[in-house]
Amino acid sequence: MEQNALPAQDERPTVAELEDRAFELRTKLLQLCGTYEGAVHIGGDLSAADIFTALFHYGLHVDPTDIRNPERDRFLLSKGHAAVCMYIAMAMRGFFSYEGIVETYGQLDSAYGMHPCKVQLPGVEASTGSLGHGLPIAVGMALSARHRGETHRVVCLLGDGETGEGSVWEAAMAANSNRLGNLVAFIDRNRQLMTSFAEERISFEPYPDKWRAFGWNVVEINGHDMGELVGAIDALPGADSDKPTVVICETVKGKGVDFMEHNLAWHAGSLSPKDLERALASLEANREKEMA
């Protein structure tokens, strides 16, 4: 491998291997939720776990041993409250250790805060968490890359709830106006807000058509089907194209744990030893059912 070269894309794992890693990610996430004394945004972490796995272990052109490589793809987590799921996905990819996350998560001065901080944690491209800010930052990074003649992609993961923010649609319009085909947005479309179901508070539908109206290439998939995630990533237009892409991933908040799925009470919370046992058993049962 040449100096500063990124890993070859043909070294990526298979769909079956990615499914195993997504299951491991959810297991580690639940275990952390069972040991941390405060609340973890477990519902939205579980809904995004397959997306994080597909991106960090398949789609993103990044090298954990060379995190400042100028040719790397840039990833921004706009739904910053899902940071711990991103941390675990990154740890599993080799950026840092899972044990370090468990030991210090959420503590004062920890690199692993409840929202990602680029100052605290090398490998994080932008500090995020105030909803509606991630896509505008990503647009600026994609536009800068174009001006510099760089060929990497900028990828942003948003929650559907935050797309009720006007800043998201200003950014979407700017991306189309500047022909930023090097920009890709993934939407965790779990249809739940913090205290309500989405359509009870704001009308998102017809959701895909809104993105089309803003000039984006729209892809609609099952965000828990690893084959569809891989297919969407493989089919992305080249970074030199002139139309940004949004991948709308239909997901379930609390995915994999029966008493958390579609349950507003589990936007955030902690697990008692008994609840952790129940959650892990449910996750295992769902995994066996999917593989049957």
Nearest to 18 by CA among 46, 56, 44: 56
CB 269 within 8 A of CB 42: yes
Is residue 8 a part of any domain in this protein? no
End-to-end CA distance of the chain: 40
Closest by CA to 76, choosing from 24, 30, 20, 132, is 132
DSSP run (H or E) holding 19: helix 15-35
**Is residue 180 included in any domain, yes or no?**
yes
Question: How far apart, in whole angstroms, are the C-alpha atoms of residue 68 and residue 123?
Answer: 8
CATH of the domain at 124: 3.40.50.970
Residue 7 within a domain: no
**What's the pTM value of the predicted model, to 2 decimals?**
0.95
In the prediction, which pLDDT does 33 show?
93
- Could you report the average pLDDT of every consecutive run of 10 residues in the chain (292 residues)? 54 94 98 89 96 98 96 97 97 96 92 94 94 97 97 97 96 98 98 83 92 98 98 97 98 96 90 96 94 82
* Total number of domains in the chain: 1
233-267 confidence digits (pLDDT tens): 999 999 999 999 999 999 999 999 999 999 988 89
Query: Is residue 3 domain-resident?
Result: no
Q: Identify the domain containing residue 81 by its residue range.
A: 14-291
Dihedral of the alpha carbons of 267, 78, 96, 92, in degrees to the nearest 10: 60
